[in-house]
């Protein structure tokens, strides 16, 4: 335990050390007296000012320079040097016993104890700083606050004068330029704006940063004597001499660099380097934690926006299906993401049932936005009652005018007359719909046609067919036939044709929901719980 007279002493290896920093209960002074008695001489402990240190009832006492052995009677002196500081000496008077081996051992033991004490104190300081920073990491959204606290801790514990923390661009995997224009200043202390915002790096080729990001703690005793430094005049103007830097690296990803400075030349110990590395690692964790929190908040906002977009998109689909005793309708729509690029439409126009199915290129948000454009254009032209080939030509013209070359869509559009079952339709590169015949068999409405959005001058052909009573029209997107099994086998059109043929061979009558249910059941048995890779849409219209 420290003596009560030394409770305010906090030894720091970077200040000038004194013997008082290491005196505890007077044991060393007492050991010197006892060894002197054994050797038949006087052995004294003296401080850095050559004052005698003696034990007393309160621990220890420091006398004056004239106390004890005069210099003329000292036959041997062993200095006590800790770090760069001369903290005192052990001296001995005349003796009939040789002290050549004893006195150096006493001095060496004392020095080792002092070094151990310093290392312990350094470890306590380091642990205290890391505990403080760790407590800030919990829910740390303000990365600047944590990094500033880390920088302040380094400067305080290592008795340094200035420092800064700079961050790399988030998508960078290390140093990407010869200057520092790409860096973002996160925290600084004791440095001028001219120094902080100078794009010219301190070292040639940014070698200091490169070494730090590779895991090394760079320590320079005097920047003016290091030939790696690029601009000595800048160093003189800023009045920085001693320098250390360590990389902010989190799980192998370089994040930034912590740089600290002393205003005088400084020899940095391994303890100094260890502390800087530890705090830099904590700062890196803080930056990453802040990013994760920020990304999580952004992801939640994106999720909320996607839900709103999905709600708007679903409102663009028919809210109710046309009700006519001459046909029944069943629909299945399933986007692979929250929002998708498939669409369908069903409405009555001039006494006929308009049936449309479309699939825009891509998935997710871009596909959904393009789908909205296609669907809006389609409705605007189809509600005038124009024939399907003309409607597709107009939609194609609109999309080609307002989209990029890589943005296009497939579409199928048909008009069904409920009175006589006649169907007139046109296709723009879409999957051919199929007609399941009540009398048995299955017909494919394969007509071809260029996708919409590529060539504004494209034209489309009409196709005619008839739905007899009991026949069902199946219109779908390629997400149906693209369903994959766990063995990575595609469902494909042949399986769909076989399934529809099987449905047509069943003798009991089917309504649209029965047909749809049979198809979905087969798809689920085939694909199981495998993730759907594409949007899928099925429209079944059965003539009653």
Q: 68-72, 101-105, 406-410, 436-440 — which is least confidently predicted?
A: 101-105
Stronger pLDDT, 508 or 281, i.e. the higher one: 281
- Residue 485: what are its φ and ψ, rounded to 5°? -85, 175
* Residue 527, helix vs strand vs coil: helix
The answer on pLDDT for 392 being more than 90 is yes
Q: Please state, in angstroms and rounded to a whole number, the distance separating the CA atoms of residues 535 and 544.
A: 29
For 24, the 3-state DSSP assignment is coil
Query: Could you tell me the CA-to-CA distances from 11 to 16, 18, 60, 111, 321 in Å, in that order?
Result: 9, 9, 18, 15, 84
Burial 277-295 (b: 16+ CB within 10 A, else e): bbbbbbbbbbbbbbeeeee
Helix (H) or strand (E) holding 341: none
Share of the chain above pLDDT 70, in %: 85
Per-residue pLDDT tens over the stretch 122-160? 666 666 666 565 555 544 556 777 788 889 888 888 889
Under DSSP, the state recorded for 390 is H
pLDDT band at residue 393 under the 50/70/90 scheme: very high
CA-nearest of 527, 510, 475 to 333 is 475
Torsion of Cα atoms, 423 then 426 then 430 then 431, to 10°: 30
CA distance 165 to 257: 6
Half-sphere exposure of 251 (CA within 13 A, CB side): 5
307-312, long-range: CB within 8 Å, 24+ apart, which pairs?
307/338, 309/338, 309/339, 309/365, 309/368, 310/335, 310/338, 310/339
Q: What's the predicted TM-score (pTM) here?
A: 0.52
Look up residue 312 and give its two tokens: 């708007």
Question: What digits encode the pLDDT tens for the residues 338-369?
Answer: 566 788 999 999 999 999 999 888 766 777 77
With bands split at pLDDT 50, 70 and 90, how would you rate the model's confidence at 397? Answer: very high
Q: Does 110 have pLDDT greater than 70?
A: yes
What would the mean pLDDT of 428-439 be, rounded to a whole number?
A: 92
Q: What is the per-residue pLDDT for 242?
A: 95
DSSP 262: E
For 417, residues 6+ apart whose C-beta sits below 8 A from its C-beta are: 351, 352, 353, 423
- The pLDDT tens digits for 78-99 are 898 887 778 888 888 887 777 7
Output the CA torsion sign for 199, 205, 207, 210: positive
Helices (H) and strands (E) in the chain, counts: 12, 20
CA–CA separation, 81 and 83 (whole Å): 6
- Regarding beta strands 242-250 and 218-220, do their DSSP bridges make them parallel or antiparallel, or are they unpaired? antiparallel
pLDDT value of position 475: 95
Judged by average pLDDT, the poorest of 43-57, 122-136, 276-290, 322-336 is: 122-136
User: Could you tell me the domains of the chain?
Assistant: 4-122 (no CATH), 139-293 (3.30.450.40), 317-543 (3.60.40.10)
Round to whole Å and give the CA distance between 343 and 375.
Answer: 7
Structure confidence by residue, pLDDT tens digits, 495-543: 998 888 888 887 666 789 989 999 999 988 888 766 566 678 999 999 9
Q: What is the pLDDT of residue 533?
A: 62
Mean pLDDT for the chain?
A: 83
- Alpha-carbon distance of 181 to 118, in angstroms, equals 40
For residue 8, the tally of other CB atoms under 10 A from its CB is 6
Q: What is the pLDDT of residues 154-191, one digit of tens each?
A: 888 888 999 999 998 877 777 767 788 888 898 999 99
146's tokens = 């944590």
Tokens of 462: 């009409």
């Amino acid at each position: 335990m420290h003596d009560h007279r030394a409770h305010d002493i906090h030894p720091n290896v970077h200040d000038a050390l004194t013997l008082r920093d290491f005196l505890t209960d007077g044991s060393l002074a007492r050991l010197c007296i006892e060894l002197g008695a054994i050797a038949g001489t006087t052995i004294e402990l003296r401080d850095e000012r050559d004052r005698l240190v003696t034990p007393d009832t309160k621990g220890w006492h420091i006398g004056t320079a004239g106390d004890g052995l005069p210099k003329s009677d000292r036959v041997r002196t062993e200095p006590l040097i800790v770090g760069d500081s001369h903290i005192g000496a052990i001296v001995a008077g005349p003796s009939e016993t040789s002290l050549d081996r004893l006195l150096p051992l006493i001095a060496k033991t004392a020095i080792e104890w002092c070094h151990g004490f310093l290392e312990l104190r350094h470890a306590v300081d380091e642990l205290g700083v890391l505990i403080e920073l760790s407590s800030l990491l919990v829910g740390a959204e303000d990365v600047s606050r944590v990094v500033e606290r880390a920088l302040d801790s380094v400067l305080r514990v290592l008795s340094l004068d200035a420092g800064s923390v700079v961050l790399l661009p988030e998508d960078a995997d290390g140093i990407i330029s010869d200057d520092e224009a790409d860096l973002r200043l996160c925290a600084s202390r004791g440095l001028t704006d001219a120094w902080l915002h100078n794009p010219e790096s301190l070292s040639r080729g940014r070698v200091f940063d490169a070494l730090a990001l590779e895991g090394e703690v760079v320590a320079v005793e005097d920047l003016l004597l290091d030939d790696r430094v690029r601009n000595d005049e800048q160093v003189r103007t800023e009045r920085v001499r001693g320098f250390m830097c360590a990389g902010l690296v989190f799980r192998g990803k370089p994040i930034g660099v912590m740089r600290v400075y002393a205003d005088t030349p400084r020899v940095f110990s391994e303890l100094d380097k260890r502390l800087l590395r530890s705090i830099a690692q904590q700062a890196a964790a803080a930056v990453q934690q802040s990013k994760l929190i920020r990304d999580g908040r952004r992801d939640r906002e994106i999720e909320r926006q996607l839900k709103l977009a999905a709600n708007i998109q679903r409102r663009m689909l028919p809210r109710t299906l046309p009700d006519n005793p001459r046909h029944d309708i069943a629909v299945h729509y399933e986007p692979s993401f929250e929002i998708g690029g498939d669409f369908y439409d069903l409405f009555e126009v001039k006494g006929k049932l308009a049936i449309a199915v479309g699939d825009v290129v891509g998935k997710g948000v871009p596909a959904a936005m393009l789908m909205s454009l296609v669907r809006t254009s389609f409705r605007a032209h189809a509600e005038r009652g124009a024939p399907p080939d003309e409607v597709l030509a107009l939609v194609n013209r609109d999309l080609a005018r307002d989209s990029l070359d890589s943005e296009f869509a497939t579409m199928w559009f048909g008009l069904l007359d409920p009175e006589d079952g006649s169907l007139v339709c046109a296709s723009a590169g879409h999957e051919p719909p199929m007609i399941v015949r009540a009398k048995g068999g299955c017909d494919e409405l394969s007509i071809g046609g260029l996708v919409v959005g590529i060539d504004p001058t494209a034209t489309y052909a009409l196709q005619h067919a008839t739905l007899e009573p009991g026949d069902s029209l199946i219109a779908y997107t390629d997400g149906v036939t693209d369903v994959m099994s766990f063995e990575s086998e595609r469902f494909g059109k042949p399986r769909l044709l076989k399934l529809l043929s099987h449905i047509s061979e069943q003798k009991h009558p089917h309504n649209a929901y029965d047909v749809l249910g049979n198809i979905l059941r087969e798809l689920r048995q085939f694909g199981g719980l495998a993730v759907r890779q594409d949007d899928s849409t099925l429209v079944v219209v059965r003539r009653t």
